[in-house]
Amino acid sequence: MAQVKTSSVIGMDRQEIADLVIEADEPGYRVKQIMDAVYRQRVESLEEISTLPQAFREKLARNGVGVGAAQIDNKFVSSDGTVRYLIGFADRQSVETVWMPEGDGGEAGDGSEAGDAAEHLVDDPHPRSTGGAKAFSENGGSIAARKRCATQNQNHTLPNPSYSSRGPRGRSTICISSQVGCAVDCHFCLTALLGVKRNLTAGEIVGQVCAVLKDQQVSPPEDRINLVFMGMGEPFLNYENFIKAARLLVECVGTAERRMTVSTAGIVPRIHDFGEETIRPKLAISLNASNDALRSQLMPLNKKWNLEMLIAAARNFPLRTREYVTFEYVLLGGVNDQPENAKQVAELLRGVRCKVNLIALNPGPGIDFKTPGDHQVAEFQKILRAGGIPAFVRRPRGRDIYAACGQLKRTVDLATFPEVQLQAISPVPER
């Protein structure tokens, strides 16, 4: 797959920036000046780095080196505060990046600090309530604790606070893309309809985050921002660039490693590689079916790496203290959402240190499935929990602007769903 060649500073690590400084015969402290300006101050041009001598900036420019900041072509704002960004690149390709104030509950139950906060909102919205999810967390996810979780927790509805453009500190989430389009042909996902155009460079991945942070006027680690590699593309099919981007986000941008999650459709060999990384986000796996026949129908990738291989990789994944593998399960009305499916999932995951995120299908044009009703979702969750599997319902964010899970398709002509209204939409400029 063709890669975009770049001489952008965004995407360079400390050593690569040091090489630029050495080549220009500049003192070593220039490295920190450049890194701070690009990754922390998020400048968009060399001219903005006022700490560098003019002659040095001019020399970098002559050598074809630029900042390489991502460009926001447009943004769409949902009635719930979610923002979908259209990020453009020099080759006229583009991806989507999503800002979610308050997140979507996706981290709940994964054992991390971010997960604890999300879990509290999902399962215990009232501060005086205790038990259930708390028991699961404090008891390390034991079967007994999971069963207590099933009996003590009910399917609470999340509160619906008033959202500001910035959102409360500590619970906002940025959903990042790793490819232009996607090569994994999941039949319930709008992104799959695009196919795959190319991989993103590490700089283009990090650039998305920097652009959104700047636009939202937030900055980690001062602001506790969660990052999820769950946008357009399959990160494990762009593995080297994804891993480099993750390292840069931790070492240069200031993102806490425990606040990052990557989702894969099940590229089994890369799951094994991922477990060997010294810096790695938490692992989420798209499951979406309870048996091989159904999963192969919905996700053709399963024909190469079936459920036995996938679950074995998850079972053997080297988890850190209080860490859990997340399985994501998109519920398709009348297809994979029946009680029997839930029982099969509970049996499939028995003994795996994991939890399940349930996602009611987010609709879109060209998707031939329907969204299940709330009762069906609640019943599926109840069966999983009764089987000892911690299960959480991810709430849809930005569904009215095609920003929710499975809806990213660089959509410009937006259709409003009956139950929601569109807000603050402006035309996308030609590139």
What's the pLDDT band for 205 if we cut at 50, 70, 90? very high
What's 14-62's CATH class?
mainly alpha
Provide mean pLDDT across the span 338-365: 93
Residue 416 has pLDDT above 80, yes or no: no
Residue 157: predicted pLDDT: 30
Residue 28: predicted pLDDT: 97
Residue 181: predicted pLDDT: 86
Question: Are the beta carbons of 226 and 172 closer than 8 angstroms?
Answer: yes
Question: Which superfamily does CATH assign the domain made up of 71-423 to?
Answer: Aldolase class I (3.20.20.70)
Residue 404: predicted pLDDT: 59
d(CA 225, CA 171): 7
d(CA 345, CA 338): 11
Domain boundaries, the chain: 14-62, 71-423
Provide mean pLDDT across the span 107-114: 61
pLDDT: is 164 or 204 the higher one? 204
Provide mean pLDDT across the span 143-154: 38
Ranking 39-43, 236-240, 413-417 by mean pLDDT, the lowest is: 413-417
d(CA 323, CA 264): 17
Share above pLDDT 90 across residues of the chain, in percent, rounded to a whole number: 63
Residue 152 has pLDDT above 50, yes or no: no
pLDDT: is 42 or 142 the higher one? 42
Query: Using one digit for the tens of pLDDT, what is the confidence trace for 61-102?
Result: 999 999 999 999 999 898 888 999 999 988 888 899 999 987
Provide mean pLDDT across the span 371-378: 94
pLDDT: is 421 or 209 the higher one? 209
Ranking 119-133, 263-277, 341-355, 381-395 by mean pLDDT, the lowest is: 119-133
Q: Is the pTM of this model over 0.85?
A: no
- Catalytic residue numbers read 96, 405
Provide mean pLDDT across the span 257-265: 95
Residue 128 has pLDDT above 80, yes or no: no
Query: Using one digit for the tens of pLDDT, what is the confidence trace for 273-317?
Result: 999 999 999 999 999 999 999 999 999 999 999 999 999 999 999
What's the pLDDT band for 196 if we cut at 50, 70, 90? confident
Share above pLDDT 70 across residues of the chain, in percent, rounded to a whole number: 76
Residues with Cβ within 8 Å of 164's Cβ and at least 6 positions away in sequence, in order, are 81, 101
What's the pLDDT band for 212 if we cut at 50, 70, 90? very high
Provide mean pLDDT across the span 194-215: 94
Residue 364 CA, distance from chain mean position: 20
What's the pLDDT band for 368 if we cut at 50, 70, 90? confident
Mean confidence (pLDDT) of the chain: 82
Residue 144: predicted pLDDT: 40
Residue 316: predicted pLDDT: 96
Residue 185: predicted pLDDT: 80
